[in-house]
Amino acid sequence: METATFEKNTTEQGIDFLPLQGTDYVEFYVGNAKQAAHFYKTAFGFQSVAYAGPETGVKDRASYVIRQHKLTFVLTTPLRSNNEIANHIYKHGDGVKTLALMVYDARDAWEQTTKRGAKSYMEPISLKDDQGEVVLSGIHTYGDTVHVFVERKNYKGVFMPGYIEWKTAYNPPSSGLLYVDHCVGNVGWNQMNPWVKFYEDVMGFKNILSFDDEDISTEYSALMSKVMSNGNGYVKFPINEPAEGKKKSQVEEYLDFYDGEGCQHVALATHDIVKTVTDLQSRGIEFLKIPSSYYDDLISRVGQIDEDLEPLKHLGILVDRDHEGYLLQIFTKPLEDRPTLFFEIIQRKGAKSFGKGNFKALFEAIEAEQALRGNL
Ligand code: FE2
């Protein structure tokens, strides 16, 4: 696990002007936050942490903060129509609004990024209560998605000022999820490179991997992807765009139903994927089904692995290897009725890549689901 240092990181290119400690939280705008919180607790094993709403003096929204190890989700719903949150849900359905990043200095993060061309979402603001101070600032990224910079080095409370501790009698056990591994954005035709440039210029990220439509294509559809990483590698944002194929790309289907660009999936890390996925399936989470033929020549493709093959095959867990090690991964079906946001569960055993060897099997499985929806 990553260790906590807040110093500016020196990279080959010099000082990292936007040192990030990792993902602080992911905020979802949802139609019913009370029910969503119950779902994420029950189905994924999150714990109740904090709450803000009318009872705490917030008039326009209710927000539930839930956590599992270092993974924090905020579920926010509007209390009335005709406001930014309600309009976001009307347009996009439930989805990711905020990818919040932990910083040492939120004022500096805002200045460094806005002076390099980022559009401001939130000017730096200091929030204080008897537990200390949190400083927030924010910038826009693709679609209606935003990055909020969170400075909490002087705060001891459960989440941030404005929230109260949320204690519940119902506390389902953890499923072993640990932290955000990466968050993927889907952007429109010819928009991948402009957003790659945004992360390079505005946030000082580097393009660490690229996949073209030859790498990511099936008989029917294609997409392109570039992985952006910050200096210390704690924050990774792959960016996908659709590519021409015989039929509709899964990225196009997302853009249609999300009605614009947005977060396609959040990858959640575990140290024991067989245990976590067994648990999640027993709680009702549905995963993409991979043809069992995928496992016939798996070991000849990826070499020896520590895990028994049978449970991987039974659960549908995919394996891929790069020069540093291997990884195990699996993808849920979309978590909404719209075919939009889904989650990846990932266990890394040395590999720092993203499962290129699994793309074909995975996208064929996605296409089978797309065809069922009549969208291929
Ligand atoms: Fe992923």
In sequence order, the β-bridge partners of residue 182 are 267
* pLDDT at 9 (0 to 100): 55
Q: Which of 132, 165, 198 is the last residue of a domain?
A: 165
pTM for this predicted structure: 0.94
Alpha carbon of 353 to ligand 1 centroid (Å): 10
Alpha carbon of 215 to ligand 1 centroid (Å): 15
Together in a domain, 21 and 147: yes
Alpha carbon of 358 to ligand 1 centroid (Å): 11
Together in a domain, 149 and 214: no
Alpha carbon of 342 to ligand 1 centroid (Å): 10
Together in a domain, 202 and 314: yes
Together in a domain, 43 and 93: yes
Together in a domain, 186 and 332: yes
The torsion angles phi and psi of 276, rounded to 5 degrees, stand at -60, -45
Q: Quick check: is 104 in a domain?
A: yes
* pLDDT at 275 (0 to 100): 98
* pLDDT at 14 (0 to 100): 67
* pLDDT at 12 (0 to 100): 55
Alpha carbon of 219 to ligand 1 centroid (Å): 21
Alpha carbon of 124 to ligand 1 centroid (Å): 31
Q: Quick check: is 353 in a domain?
A: yes
Together in a domain, 32 and 129: yes
Together in a domain, 263 and 358: yes
Alpha carbon of 317 to ligand 1 centroid (Å): 14
Amino acid identity of residue 94, one-letter, is D
Q: Quick check: is 74 in a domain?
A: yes
* pLDDT at 4 (0 to 100): 45
Together in a domain, 157 and 243: no
Q: The domain spanning residue 303 has which CATH number? A: 3.10.180.10
- Domain tally, the chain: 2
Together in a domain, 261 and 129: no
Alpha carbon of 23 to ligand 1 centroid (Å): 15
- Return averaged pLDDT per consecutive 10 residues of the chain, 376 residues in all: 48 79 98 98 98 95 98 98 97 98 98 98 98 98 98 97 97 98 96 97 95 79 90 96 85 96 98 98 95 89 94 96 95 96 97 87 86 89
Together in a domain, 354 and 225: yes
Alpha carbon of 185 to ligand 1 centroid (Å): 10
Together in a domain, 221 and 368: yes
Residue ranges making up the domain that contains 56: 15-165
Together in a domain, 277 and 346: yes
Q: Which of 127, 144, 165 is the last residue of a domain?
A: 165
C-alpha–C-alpha distance, residues 116 and 121, integer Å: 14
Q: Which of 165, 187, 209 is the last residue of a domain?
A: 165
Q: Quick check: is 6 in a domain?
A: no
Alpha carbon of 183 to ligand 1 centroid (Å): 7
Q: Quick check: is 322 in a domain?
A: yes
Alpha carbon of 236 to ligand 1 centroid (Å): 10
Q: Quick check: is 256 in a domain?
A: yes
